[in-house]
Amino acid sequence: MSSEPTGPDTASIDLREFVRPGDTVLWGQAGGEPRALIGALVRQAADLGGVTAFVGMTYDTRLEGVDGLRLRSYGALGVLSGRPVDVLRCHMSALPDLIRSGRQPADVVFCQVSPADADGFHSLGVSVDYLLAAAQTARVVLAEIDPRVPVTAGPGRLPGSAFAASIHVERGPTQVPDRAGGDVEVRIAGHVAELVPDGATLQLGVGGLATAVATALRGHRGLRLHGGLVGDWLVDLDEHGAVAMGDNRPVAVTGTAVGTDRLYRYLHRNPAVELRPVDQVHPAAITGALPRFVAVNQALEVDLDGQVGAESVGGRYLGAVGGQVDFLRGAAASPGGAAIVALPSTTGRGASRIVTGLDGPVTTAGSDVGWVVTEHGAADLRGLSRIQRARALVDIADPAHRSRLGADLWPPCRAPACTS
């Protein structure tokens, strides 16, 4: 079955033909959200008998408060940050196997794909990550075929025979411009850039801090990218001559892209950038074998033992486990690598983000963190005792909070080893 062409965010498809009561519907995330199919689900959810939508990083504001639709995710990301969502706490590297085993169901999968090539295959475009495993497992796959979806290098292809139905739109991947970093993020990025050698393989994300770090690295040379997400900043690094050239290896390996047409045009039929499934991007065994692998991850809080909270604070779920632990462990194992957690020293209200105890769950153990960076400097935690780690973290906290944090150092210790 194939529908007639539709508007950018609508689809004339009756989902009751494909979705059963109790099903979980999963789709591509970030730039690869199939908005017309999502729109059909939102409109028809109340008539489907109760379904769950598994969403990743989403920019679709229509998903909130839909009757008959329960939201589940690996985190509260994009427009869902701080919103009610049933969170599956898992490492990103575990997600494909959870899907294949049925522990995380994917009964119906929506895909945003390019038109078929000469061999009848459609590119998954800018969202491959866990979507490929889901599409290969699902009972039903529905395709949103869009000529503006870039054909990306890598294994993210599906034959037309995989689709139970398809619709045709012309809107392209979701447009999400890089957010420029503010003064604090620029200062953090300067400290991070000092830890990145030429020839490094870098993992970043998206957002103001990632943009600021990429900007600070424009003068570097021979860089490669390997991570879960890329944004327009990848094009900036290439245009400034910072990325590696001259061999047959890809310049960038990622699972998902989110940016503007500038990025999507760059990805189209570009063999230097491969979009691969999570199993080929996140595992520490893969990144740990990369020389000079530098992972830069963000946090909501870091406590004085170096433990990282990147998910919730104040009772509000704001982030995800995601690939943080996967990438930090890989960077720690990489020859010449660096496992970096970066965050502003204070919240917007002036509260310290370097804390004596995390407000939310521990996302990353202190033993997996190599460096913590704020706008006030970089603390190298490797090889330090607990009291030494605490002191190093106090030194990069906001000056207004250092005295109180220093008085709270744990455990209290008066032995010579603690005072030397």
> Residue 64 domain-assigned?
yes
Model's pTM, two decimal places? 0.92
Is residue 5 very low, low, confident or very high in pLDDT (cuts 50, 70, 90)? very low
Residues 133 and 233 in one domain: no
Say if residue 106 is in the same domain as residue 161: yes
Residues 377-393: tens digit of each pLDDT = 999 999 999 999 999 99
User: Given a cut of 90, is residue 84 above it in pLDDT?
Assistant: no
State mean pLDDT over 394-417.
78
Binning pLDDT at 50, 70 and 90, where does residue 420 land? very low
Number of domains into which the chain is organized: 2
Domain closes at, from 124, 145, 168: 168
**Residue 8 domain flag:** no
Task: Answer yes or no: do 202 and 91 share one domain.
Answer: no
Residues in contact with 374: Cβ distance below 8 Å, sequence separation at least 6, in sequence order = 188, 191, 342, 343, 344, 345, 353, 354, 396, 397, 398
- 126 and 216 housed in the same domain: no
Domain boundary among 168, 192, 227: 168
Whether the ω angle into residue 105 lies within 30 degrees of 0, i.e. cis, is no
**Which among 370, 383, 273 has a CA at the least distance from the CA of 330?**
370
Please check the confidence at residue 178 and state whether its pLDDT lies above 50. Answer: yes
How do residues 89-126 score in pLDDT, each as one tens digit?
A: 999 999 999 999 999 999 999 999 999 999 999 999 99
pLDDT at residue 27 tops 90: yes
Each residue's pLDDT tens digit, 295-348: 999 999 999 999 999 998 888 888 899 999 999 999 999 999 999 999 999 999
123 and 258, same domain (yes or no): no
- Whether the pLDDT of residue 414 is over 80: the answer is no
Task: Show Cβ contacts of residue 366 under 8 Å, excluding neighbours closer than 6 positions.
Answer: 303, 305, 306, 307, 308, 381, 389
For 183-196, what is the mean pLDDT?
98
Cα 312 from Cα 89, distance rounded (Å): 12
Question: Looking at residue 153, which CATH number applies to its domain?
Answer: 3.40.1080.10
Q: Does 190 share its domain with 124?
A: no
Range of the domain at 115: 15-168
241-253 tens-digit pLDDT? 999 987 788 999 9
Is 350 among the domain residues?
A: yes
> Is there a domain that residue 1 lies in?
no
Which of the residue ranges 83-92, 118-127, 200-209, 365-374 would you say has the lowest mean pLDDT? Answer: 83-92
Examine the fold and report which residue of 119, 138, 168 is the final residue of a domain before the chain moves on: 168
73 and 196 belong to one structural domain: no
CATH, residue 344: 3.40.1080.20
Residue 7, domain member (yes or no): no
Q: Please check whether residue 217 lies inside any domain of the structure.
A: yes
pLDDT at 410: 54
Mark whether 132 and 190 lie in a shared domain. Answer: no
- Tell me, yes or no, whether 160 and 193 share the same domain: no
Convert the pLDDT of each residue in 130-152 to its tens digit: 999 999 999 999 999 999 999 99
Do 339 and 385 fall into the same domain?
Answer: yes
Whether 412 is in a domain gets the answer: no
Residue 267 included in any domain: yes
Q: What is the mean pLDDT of the chain?
A: 93
Q: Do both 122 and 208 map to the same domain? A: no
Per-residue pLDDT, 8: 52
Q: Which band of pLDDT confidence, cut at 50, 70 and 90, is reported for residue 78?
A: confident
If asked whether residues 193 and 44 sit together in one domain, one would say: no
